[in-house]
Amino acid sequence: FDMLLGKLEKDGSRKPGVIDKFAGDTRAIISKVALEAENKGLFEEAVRLYELAKNPDKVLELMNRLLSPVIAQVSAPQSNKERLKNTAVAIAERYRSQGVAAEKTVNSTFYLLLDLMTFFDEYHTGHVDRAYNVMERLKLLPLSQDGVEERVAAFRNFSDEVRHNLSEVLLATMNILYTQYKRLKAAPAGTPARSQRAIEDKGMQLHSQARALITFAGMIPYNMAGDTNARLVQMELLMN
């Protein structure tokens, strides 16, 4: 394709191909080839072609479909997830440097999926505090009882690509709270009374956050994987 239709340079510009010698409207031809690739299910190929055709809406729409099934997976060298992550990060960097944006919903879904990928990467490598900070910043889940209704209302605006990952996001976040709780309870026995009180307060806060997740999971109008709610409750009970 590169020789024929042109090659995408790192800065997002297109290096001309053989087609430029013979055709006037190269973008229309590249778009047609991209659509054929998409219709055949060759989404990664289609992404490359749509980017050559300067169609960010289609680039990010297809990237969202590709990213959604892999974001919660453990990253491994040469894995499907790693390859797609590298592609997505390269696109994000190009678009940010050029000030390119797709349609609003597609755009926000793409960057949210990238952030969730960071969340899961931190989580799977055992960096629970860093993963927690990412989740807190994303404001995807309520981390206090006060925020439950607001987050349930906001959930209605999320795309299917984000919703499909909700079970995994909830379970990982609950596991982070439980890990922080266990770490707290492992404080040495001779801890001064004031520190002991601070530990108890923090324990109550973590338990309250766990309750908020369960309330949220019960209120959202979405059918999650069968045992998600049971597993959430199980972890919350271990925090008593």
The average confidence (pLDDT) of the chain is 89
The CA distances from residue 210 to 152, 183, 206, 213, 228, in Å, are: 16, 16, 6, 5, 14
pTM, rounded to two decimals: 0.86
Which of 101, 90, 11, 96 shows the shortest CA–CA distance to 44?
90
| Domain-embedded: residue 162 | yes
| Domain-embedded: residue 23 | no
Domain that includes residue 214, residue range: 139-240
pLDDT at 134: 98
pLDDT at 196: 80
Residue 17's Cβ-count burial label (10 Å; 0-12, 13-18, 19+) is middle
| Domain-embedded: residue 84 | no
C-alpha to C-alpha distance for 211 and 166, rounded to whole angstroms = 17
Q: What is the dihedral of CA 137, 68, 154, 225, to 10 degrees?
A: -110
| Domain-embedded: residue 114 | no
pLDDT at 20: 53
| Domain-embedded: residue 240 | yes
Domains: count for the chain: 1
pLDDT in tens, 90-141: 999 999 988 999 999 999 999 999 999 999 999 999 999 999 999 999 999 9
